[in-house]
Amino acid sequence: MKKLVITIIALLACVSALPQTSKADSEQKVGILVSDVINDYSLSTNPGKNNAMTLPYATQPVSVSAKVKYSPINDKALKMYYFYREEGFPVAKLSHDELNNLEALNKYDVIVFPYSVLMNHRQRENVKAYIYGGGNVQILYATARNELAKLAKSPADLDLTPLIFDTLTWVWEWDNLTEIFQTRFIDDVQLREAKITNTPGVTHPILSKAYQKLGRSSLQLTESANEWYEIVQPWKPSVKPLLVISDYSSTDKPANVKKGQSGALFALEYGAGRIVHAPFKIYDYVGVEKHEGGWQEDSGKAYSETKGKEDAEAVLSASMEWLLEGSNTFKPRNYNVKLTASNYMANMTPQKTFAFRGTVTATNTGDIPVRGKLRVHILDSGNKAIGKYEKVLVGLSPSPNDVSSYAEKFEILLPGSIKDGTYTVKVTFEETRHDRSGYITRAETHTLTKQGNKGAFSNFPGFKDVSSGNGHYQNILNAAKLGVITGSGNQTFKPTANVSRLNAMMMLLRAKGITPSVSAALPSSVTDLKKGAYGYDVIATAYQMGLLNLENGQAAKDAPMRRGEMAQALVKGFALQGTSDMVFTDIGTASSYNQYRNIATLYHHRITTGTTATLYSPYSAVTRQQFATFIMRSLENTSK
């Protein structure tokens, strides 16, 4: 089971005096993914087709490469299973189906992915949530690069798995797992006579452990054959590879690999978990002595073209020890997209149209990649769009050395007969992919006042009672620009007032882009809110969606939203998943408190960290400024 968080100080003091956990600790468990689905794909073939597929947003068809037979991937998984068993680690075989269930993954302290090329979006999301909540993974080449749903069903079908189908850009080569790697995929390259060594000047516990096992302070692995390597580039300078490709005799793509710089092993932290990523086939160097059947080709031997068996095994064993230790820190997921508007102009053209022009810039200032749709809408006084412009942004890197910012010049032509008056210019960024949409995370708004042949612009005024020194200021501002919150009149927000159950549900439905249903109904036993009364449709819609329960059998629309029920509303509303070991002492257990799982999910994402270090305060009221922050954090966690 994953490492538990112990909150009793006396126990912590006792535990600190205990010896280090042995790698065969009976309470720990290492899962090795053995997937017949992936193995069958490795052995399949499929002919290529020229100009046969049109990708979303692409202007011309692309060719689909032929699928050739690979060596059996399950042989690589079996090799790692028996290797770690010989090393004394508590291993078990993890099936492909277990990737569909986050609770099943949470039973393992470490999961090993040997050449696991096929997963669907949900499986990858489960793996991401598993790590963020404190799980650990060892990723050995090409993990989850392709979409399982795109697997060819017959030789007549197109085989799309070699394509970056849902991603359109190498920024997104691993799709929603990209952020755990903290690197940009550059390319697959072939190297002949490659040499991999430890990175000069880089220290890490994994290297120290490996050196201790070998009795020397250097590592070297060489391969005489022509073999594939994944070339990746970290987003941030702080991410240093432990091993690098230090030399090779030839390559098919010399521009994409740099001797002494291209990484071959990374040790990373994400949330409460750890990742070891080897973007080369390190398992080819490993050999096992005792093993049962099931092999299709190599029977557990190290490949004859490789040298450095002891070094590779020392690195892998040291990596596993580091992963099993677990992390005592938390690396938060920092989502931050900034929208800026500039050069706005509005005037009548010689063609008698009213032209609105400007530039909108989207910048990724966080530490995870983002993608989505950039939209500009002109809204009339009834909030109806009378003009719009849209641009798909296929990937913004979190690194300023890459494509982290994009400026789009736009023009919207309105009828020349447009009346004088006040209009709203709303710029939005919607986190999206081809199978999901609707989560708008950022907006900028300006007022356009048309007078005759010209237009003048003014900025969003904000709220008089929310200063920039307020810790919730940016979230309140973002929520207001999105239209999630509307204020309390007279340009005020009343940030410290309690948010009512009705207002909380109004905010949540707006954040989800849902109009309250006029057909939604509360149970007939509810007597304090009748159909047709103010707020009925909102409360009834939220109730039917499972966002809100009745309070003592009543709607209680004006009662304050409590922190416990807030957890249910946000988790269900934004379909959040994940769990973490709980630090709170006032919420009981999963069996004794019906909001336990929802609170664990909120804490997993750090949407809230409690009212103190150890108290969640489930029955305390939520203020308006707190709920604005919780809404924005929940929205930001929908990016995948």
CA atoms within 13 A on the CB side of 369: 29
Distance CA 8, CA 24 (A): 26
Give the residue from 394, 377, 352 showing the smallest Cα distance to 168.
Answer: 394
Contact predicate 103/296, CB 8 Å: no
User: Cα-flanking dihedrals φ and ψ of residue 397, to 5°?
Assistant: -75, 150
Question: What is the token pair recorded at 88?
Answer: 């004394």
Distance CA 160, CA 112 (A): 26
Q: Please report the pLDDT score of residue 283 as a whole number.
A: 97
**So what's the architecture of 9-188+230-243+260-325 in CATH?**
3-Layer(aba) Sandwich (3.40)
CA angle 52, 434, 157 (to 5 degrees): 30
Per-residue DSSP letters for 25-79?
-TT--EEEE--HHHHHHHH--B--EEEEE--TT-SS-EEEPPBPPPPPHHHHHHH
DSSP 8-state symbol, 590: T
Distance CA 110, CA 131 (A): 9
For residue 424, give the H/E element and its range: strand 421-433
**Tell me: the pLDDT tens digits for 392-443?**
898 899 998 889 999 999 999 999 999 999 999 999 999 887 666 788 999 9
Contact predicate 64/160, CB 8 Å: yes
Give the residue from 245, 494, 457 showing the smallest Cα distance to 343.
Answer: 457
**What residues of the chain score a pLDDT lower than 70?**
1-26, 55-58, 162-168, 170, 434-436
Distance of CA 184 to the CA centre of its chain: 14
**So what's the architecture of 332-460 in CATH?**
Sandwich (2.60)
CA angle 595, 596, 601 (to 5 degrees): 100
- pTM metric for this prediction: 0.92
User: Cα-flanking dihedrals φ and ψ of residue 454, to 5°?
Assistant: -130, 165
DSSP 8-state symbol, 499: P
CATH 2.60.40.10 in the chain, residues?
332-460
Q: Please report the pLDDT score of residue 434 as a whole number.
A: 64
Contact predicate 278/265, CB 8 Å: yes
Distance CA 67, CA 65 (A): 6
CATH 3.40.50.880 in the chain, residues?
9-188+230-243+260-325
Q: Please report the pLDDT score of residue 26 as a whole number.
A: 57
Give the residue from 134, 122, 127, 133 showing the smallest Cα distance to 112.
Answer: 127
CB neighbour list of residue 419: distance below 8 Å, 6 or more residues apart: 450
**Tell me: the pLDDT tens digits for 559-595?**
999 999 999 999 999 999 998 888 899 998 887 888 9
